Chain A
């Protein structure tokens, strides 16, 4: 590495290292794309074996892709529409309103972040079974309304770093607490709202265990469907690798698009809240 000062522009070895690492990280993705376009039953390599975009067509026609996609969307809308907002409200209360019991309750929120999800999911399964809520989307509504410990934490960190004067000014102007939140704090927290929405999107879109436990196949979202149903040639047990990879890329695509659209918010959100996204 260079021996000049920190502010100097990077040197050749630095860029060589960066390009090398970029190649390493992109390589699997490149291979997946190559494989998705390759002919069936060929040994995929560095270059595609033929050009077969019809693999993507098979990926959506060989299984009931759009039905599973619709289920994914339903779960997504429920989760995004609830958790993003209730988490903000709760985070605000924890950051800005002093009340007895606040610190103890916040410790509880933090410890639920450490809780392996499965430890509550299995008893929930038994309880949902008892109350006839299995194979319905209701559990997602309830979970959404409850918010998410990590999102609450993100909002709380952000709101805690806002100077007190702002609130006092609002108080003098006669704003109620809820009004202060709605018209002053929430608009200011746009980077965090976007960060939470993006994380929420990624979490909901990629979750295949929750739906696997609580739903039946007809209500599976895409991720769960792909983890339980294989693309096979008629009558054979051989999995079609190129079609499966094409389907994986189709699942990945919305995540990439959302990430690119919201990237600057995530970076900003993480800098302002000082925690990992």
Chain B
């Protein structure tokens, strides 16, 4: 019961902050949270969270149902491969995160127009530069969340977050 309540409140707050940051800086907190919590929390709440969140943003941003979910699924796939090359907890562990966040912004831009409107929108240098800066800024946020997660981590759960 406690978990459900915590999840619901956290979810509503995240929708608020995501909408706020998206409007002010076109910045996504959601992708950072997804990358931070992947394989650190149980699979069921994790996939439930990304499914619900994707449907919410497909609804409020008027995109086709499942578009955000496809973007996230592709980013997870690439992140998984990148973590094979560069270990997640290594010194250069932030590089896959940077590349994944960068990919998320690019795919959001491309796939939404391609799958929804059947048109391919060309990139502008401004967009690439903005995306690069946003991806760079995502790294400290990611590291901060990682710190927070390790604070809640139980020694005997082997890397799972404690939600009592």
Is the A/B pair a real complex?
Answer: no
Q: Interface on B for A, CB 8 Å cutoff?
A: none
Q: Interface on A for B, CB 8 Å cutoff?
A: none
